[in-house]
Copies of this chain bind each other. A is one copy, B any other.
């Protein structure tokens, strides 16, 4: 491929874009993180605008792949999975990978809701009381419910079939994010999920991923992303 991929995502945070970055990095394909380049923001905004593109996305991340402009994280990953052997070729395996990715998207959404349970248009500080209640439920009920499920999924060592897929990369990122946002909760829960933690470690050790994590391309977690460390939301 002569034209590298262009990732269109907010600069300065991992967010949902990070699931795409991990797939691109593991695949070892060239890409430009457009909005992190000087003058890149207008290009990202154009991908959301009916005046400037035929198929704008509702929100980033968006991947430009040649003529194609692809939105929605799980959709981008499905595309990359097919092109770069990060998912099975057969229909049953592709559907299973997509199903798991959509289930990861569900807990990622819920992680975001813990600090914004009322409105994305209000500051965290203006919904902190509600956030504490929502986070309590997330810690006590939702994280265990999802991790129980994913622990079952990865019994064979990988999420899908007998080799790495984009789903494993996303499970790695999920664990990373939960550890960042809920360190006490995760310290307590992790011993119950040995297969999932082993998978996380196996992904972290892959050469391309290990190199990426140490590079400047990996934006540190912070309090503008999905996974935010607000100590009052952890126990």
Question: Which residues of A are at the interface with B, using a C-beta cutoff of 8 A?
Answer: 50, 55-58, 67-68, 70-72, 74-75, 78-79, 91-92, 95-96, 98-99, 102-103, 106, 109, 113, 117-119, 121-122, 130, 133-134, 137, 141, 146, 149, 152
Contacts and interface: CB of A to CB of B under 8 A. Distances in A.
A210 B171 CA distance: 43
Given A67-B92, A113-B113, 11 more contacts: A55-B96, A56-B149, A57-B103, A58-B106, A68-B92, A70-B99, A75-B98, A102-B102, A109-B109, A117-B117, A118-B133
B102 A117 contact: no
B95 A79 contact: yes
A58 B95 contact: no
A75 B58 contact: no
Contact of A58 (B70, B109, B122, B146): B146
B50 A152 contact: yes
The 10 closest A-B pairs by CB, nearest first: A119-B137, A72-B102, A50-B152, A72-B99, A58-B103, A71-B99, A118-B133, A75-B99, A75-B98, A58-B149
